[in-house]
Structure formats: C-alpha cells, structure tokens
Structure 1
Amino acid sequence: MADATLKQSPLHDRHVALGAKFAEFGGWTMPLEYSSGVVKEHTAVRSAVGIFDVSHLGKAMVSGPGAADFVNATLSNDLAKIAPGKAQYTLCCDAVTGGIIDDLIAYYQDDEHVLLVPNAANTAEVVRRLQAEAPDGVSVVNHHDDYAVLAVQGTRSDEVLQRVGLPTGHDYMSFVEASFDGPGVVVCRTGYTGERGYELIVANEGAPALWDALLAAGEEFGMLTCGLGSRDTLRTEMGYALHGQDITVDVNPVEAGLGWAVGWKKDTFWGRDALLAVKEAGPERRLRGLIATGRGIPRPGMRVSLTHDVALCDITSGTFSLTLKKGVGMALVPTMVHPDAEVGVDIRGRREIFQLTKVPFVETSVKES
C-alpha cells in the first residue's frame, strides 16, 4: 500500500502500469527500476537511450529586478560568467561554515528570472534561505509540486526528441524554451548520467502526453524506461557527488573537489570567508575515487583503511560498474594519503584492495556537440 505521506509524480499511474518498483527519494515515491532491471536500464543509457522521470527534483523561480544579481550574491558559482540561455552547476553553502546545503542547477533565463533546480530533500531549505535574504522586489517561489522533469539520456537522445518536434543540438549546459502539444517545455542539455542527453521541464498537466510521445518515439532506438537505481549506478561511474552521501552540510566544496563551482573572485556569496580560509590552509580530506583491484564491490558505510590497523574513512558511494565490470566508489580520504595509494575496504569482514584514482571512472558522450 502506498505511503500517503509521500509525494507522487504526475506520471505515477504510468509507472504503475509499466510495473515499476518504487522507493522513497527525498519525500517522494519514485520508480527504482522497471521489469527490465537496473543492468539493462544502465546499459541502454550507455549504448542507446533511456528515459527517466525525475519529477522529485525541486523547482524554484527567483524573479524581479536584480534577480540574477541576488542569485549571484548568494550561491557559490559566478552567474556573471554565463549568458541568458545557459545553465550552471552551483552550490548553496552555509553562510558561516561553508558546508554544502545543496548542489543545484541554475537556469539563467534573463536578469529578472533565474530558475533553480535543487535536490528534492533540500528544496524547502534552499527556498527558505533565499526568501529570508531576498531584497525588496525579488521573489523566490517554490514550484516543487507544479512541474515535472523528464530526462532523456543517451547517445540516441537527439533522435528521440526530434521525433516529437523538440529542439536538439544546443550546447552542453544550455537550454531552449519550446512547447509540446500546447504546454511550454524547457529543453535543457543537462543530466546526471554522464551521457549526452536532455532534461525536459514541463507543467504537470503537460507531462503525461509528453511522456507517452517520448516512449513511442524511442521504440525504434531501443529506449528503455529507467528508474533511479540505474541513475545512481550511472552517476557513480561518473564520480558525480550525491547530496546526503558524498556531500552534506558537514562537507565543504574544497573537500568535495567542487572548487570549480565556486566564484572565488566574487565579492560575496554564502560561506565565502570560511571557504577562502579552507582553500588557503588546504583541506584535511578530499573526495576520491576508488576502483577495485579484485572482485570487491564497495557500498556506502563500509570502512576504508590504509592498513589493517589504520582506519581512514567510510565509503560514501559505491557500486559495481557495469561498464568496467569492477567495483567503484568514492570516499572522503584524508589528504595525507597519497592520491594513488592502495587502500583496503572492509567488505563483510574481508579486506579487499582498492586503488585511489581520479574520477570519472568511464569516458562518455556528455559534452559532445
């Protein structure tokens, strides 16, 4: 029986009809996998195309005179480095500690309109903090329950969108405003799988027709419906951090290797002083990739050690890479450990050897034009 306290996507009935298995994500009940299973869904995205319902993601509009300047004065990245029609990965950091409250995408529509897409569990807090600091004339409206987000990901994603008349071919981290069967659709060249693809933001009432059309269009390209289980294995292969596991309010951008998403030359953003101090002193730990030298498969919470007697940290994300056929993971490793060192991971009482490495673990098509 469904948990009445959890929110549902406007496509929930479609997922039930497709035989999806559900799980809780950030207060929402969302498809974990379909009858095809995680392995086939993952492989479809890497080799052809898959479609995800990620409507649990937050949506918030910052609007009014000076809206873009306000976003730039609060969130970490430098919005002034991009033009309208572009998207930017950015961070909402704690003003005092610099810890990561959330990572999100900012869609810069114009100087008076910036659409933010935070993580589901953190949307209310991000909106609350922005509303508390918004100057007169700037509004921050939570549209979490008003819009669906569909992700079409994979090397054949362009063909699928073209079949339904939506624009394709724009640059990575850019977006185009279009329409489908009446309702407006924001077609974003973004995603969380590492493959070429698009995220489509559409009002709830327009989501079912768009979903149905995309499923029909994708048949000839081998498109599979994909759940958040394969989304997790895909993002882990790319070394993309997940808030609540790899990054939290207790982890700052320098530790997380996300200094590239900080506008260090800006005069102001939340957490600036704390982060400049960490950058100058150097972090005591860094988010590192780990790849198995044997058959071990790491899972979150497993202990990482330098030797049998020297514990270092715990795995934050871990899975079996379906592309590499090896276990891969991430952990916040003390910086005193050599970045290429071998470490042990306690897998059910057995110490398996892993090599520290840079991410991503696999090469993909995400930025191909």
Structure 2
Amino acid sequence: MHAFKHLKRVVTDWFLCGMLIATLLSYVFPTFGATGGTMHAEWVINIGVFLVFFLHGVNLSSEQIRHGLKNWRLHFMVQTFTFLVFPLIWLVSDTLLGSHIPSLLMLGFFYLCALPSTISSSVALTGSAGGNVPAAILNASLSSVLGIFLTPLLVSFVVGSGAGGIDLGSTLLDLCAMLLLPLVLGQLLRPLFGKFFSRHKRYTNIVDKLVILLLVYAAFCNSMVSGMWQQQGNTVILSALVGSAVLLAIILWMTTRTARALKFSPADEIAAVFCASKKSLAAGAPMAALIFGANPGLGLILLPIMIYHPLQLIVCSVLAESYANRNRVLAEQQRGAALSAQ
C-alpha cells in the first residue's frame, strides 16, 4: 500500500514527470535543446536564471541578507566540502582504483571534484525545498568567485604548473551579470513590487522548477550531441556513470550527516546539502578549454562532469520534493498543536 501511494505521488507530480519528459525529449530532439540549437538554450536558460535571481532579489529582505552573512558555520562547511572534501575523496579513490581506470578519466574525476558549486540550480532547489535561500545565494556566489582561482590551482597540483589560466575579468563580469545585477534590481524594486510578489510566492517556485527542467533538458541534449555515448567505449562510460553516482551518493550522505552533527536548522541543512553537493557544468566546460587547451582527451576529461551534472539535478530535485513534503507535514503538525493549545 505504501509503495502504491509513493508510485501514485510520482506519477501525479508534474515536476517529477517533467524531469522524465525532459530526459526523453533530449534523446528524441537533442539538437533542438543543445548549445547553439534552435531553442537557443544558452539564452533561454540565462534569461530564466536572471528571472529567478530577480524574483529572489525582490523577495529578500535586508534582515534575511544580514542573517545570511552571519551564518559563518554554514558558509565554512559548504566551501570546505566544495574545494577540500571533494578532492580528498578523489585522492583516496585514485590511491585505491587509479591503476584500474584510464588516466584521463581519473583526471576528469579530479576536475569534477575541483569545480565550484552551481549557482542557479543550488538556489532554485533550495527555494523549492523551503531552505535558506539567502545562505544558498551567498554560498553559490562565493563558490563561483573562489573557483576562478582555486579550480586551476587544484588542477595544477595534478597535471603540473602548465595548466594555464583563466580570463578573470570576463568570468567576473559574467558572474556579476547573471547574479549580482538581477539581485540588485530586485532589491531596488522591492519597495514597489515586494508585497505583490510575496502574495504570489508560489509562482516563484513554479518558475524555479521550470528553470531546473530547462537545465536538465539542455544538459542531456549537450551530452547527446557531443557524441559522448558513441565516441567512448561502453566500459569507460559505465565507469564514469558508476563513479559519478557513487560520488554523489557519498557526498549527499556526508553533507547531510555533517549538517545534522552541526545542529543546523532544517532550512540551513537544505542549503548546506544542495550547495555543498553541486558541481557546475556551466563553469566547468569553458574553464576546461582554458585550463587544458587543445588536449585531445578533453572529451574524456569532461565526461564525469557531463554525467554528474544532470545526475545531481535529477537526484537533488527528488530530494527537494522530499524536503518540501517534510516541511509541509511539520507545518501542519505545528498548526495542529497550536490549535490544541488554544
């Protein structure tokens, strides 16, 4: 009976169904949603991300932002996992399994572990799950800025000092355009539209989920168009898939346990888990071209992040629904207790 109830929820949940449909559509129409395709996914998603941050900017109060800045334990945990724990997990894996896995694929896994967290999906998933959105915004932003310096530095420890560099000015400019500008605009217009958007906050959550669906579709489309499945042998692809899944499972377990050991509030736990477990394909692909240059094995180096990226979106989207349902149950219980007390 319980299994039937769970199956019914999955079938009737439009967002979970949307995840499955987006994946299937990417198989049937891969070029449509790929970068440079008819849908112009890079522009559509950028507009969607801009809109999401604008809505969060309108909904964020100054008090929320100040509270987010003070939450140093959460920030420290997220950045430690992103740039220290991930690479340490790779180091242990390389010691145990490095001789059994192609060297370029192991380098790809290290590159995955050295990448910064995502911005848009971390914030969108945190918001839809009922987590601490100001903390998610601050951590995702900080991670992206730190990644400009730390990702090539970490990679250089493995491949040597000739790893190349990053166009710092251009990257910072893109970050400001995609993150700071819509947030500032939202804050500036909050006195005019703040009350209106607070009354229609559920539509903000719908926009969050639609942007996530676009991210999943575009990520799978790019994987299909790149010929990843045709160019590499089944064993290499299987190794990358299993490795990415195991890495995600380990990191989700570790972040959840760490957040609870630190006695974070439910909202802070959600932000910590989603921000600390994510890795950015949007930052990873262009950075790889700069760091590795014309390396003929670039496709294999990118394989782990190309698999991990859509995988993390699917798994964390289901996890976000679970968190949201838990929050609704807790809220109903609190309301019931309050009514009983009266």
Per the normalisation by structure 2, the TM-score is: 0.24
Indicate the structure whose relative CO is greater, using CA pairs within 8 Å and at least 6 residues apart: 2
Kindly indicate which of the two structures has a greater share of residues assigned to helix: 2
Kindly indicate which of the two structures has a greater share of residues assigned to strand: 1
